Amino acid sequence: MTLKPLPALFSALIAIALLTTGCQDDAEIWEAYSEELCEIRTGADGKAASITTDSGRELQASSLKQPLTPDTLYRAMAVIIETDNGPQLYGIQFLAALPPTPNVAAGKDTKAVRLLTCWRTKRYVNLRVGIPSCTESAHVIGFADDGFRYHSPINGKPFRKTKKLRFLYNSNIDQKDFYEEHIISCPVYGFDEELTPEIDSIELTIYTEKGKTIFTTPY
């Protein structure tokens, strides 16, 4: 069946009807929702002790009733309701936070993924990627720590270095029939003693269907 475009006048009438319906005085007011990446820290009892978003906002930890592993740091996406009393936790989705592994052989686990976006928050480098669905085999996902690249001083600036990271992925024997979107974080706060903020940098290499992509960010 072929769809035909609506006549212009008919389309305009629909738009006016939607506009007038949406502007009624007694229309329901929806609460404002937002999503933020966050860290969840648990205490010795396995309960959430703190929930801190990447932007620095503190959410009420007692609102998370799910029992968790004691004394653990979790990575998650928080769904937040903005209220007159401040942000309130509405829902949570746990995410993978994978520390980089040193001494991974070059070229290992570099199957292509669909890179949607890459960005840096204070303690993490984050990826939103499309990954083939797991069907017949376990997939390898992680980050490699490929050491440092050193830079000569320029115009009297201090000696600089770049921490080189690499996104690892291997679908093994699975075919690329279906893709699932995932957010994956790489913790970088462990480099505090090795990298100087605003002087040194982090470089992440991602292998995509369009070739090699390099994301660089100041530390």
What residue ranges define each of the domains in the chain, with the CATH number in brackets? 32-95 (2.40.50.500), 98-218 (2.60.40.2370)
Q: Judge contact between 69 and 46, C-beta under 8 A.
A: yes
Per-residue confidence band for 14, with pLDDT thresholds at 50, 70 and 90 = very low
Place of tokens 């279906």: 178
User: 10-19, 63-72, 191-200, 208-217: lowest mean pLDDT where?
Assistant: 10-19
Confidence of residue 94 (pLDDT cuts 50, 70, 90): very high
Confidence of residue 2 (pLDDT cuts 50, 70, 90): very low
Q: Residue 1 above 90 pLDDT?
A: no
Question: Residue 136: which residues within 8 A CB-CB, separation 6 or more?
Answer: 173, 174
Which H or E run includes 184? strand 179-187
Length of the chain counted residue by residue: 219
Matching residue, tokens 């903020």: 197
> Cα(219)–Cα(202) distance, rounded to whole angstroms?
6
Confidence of residue 141 (pLDDT cuts 50, 70, 90): very high
Question: What is the number of other CB atoms lying within 10 angstroms of the CB of residue 201?
Answer: 18
* Average per-residue pLDDT for the chain: 84
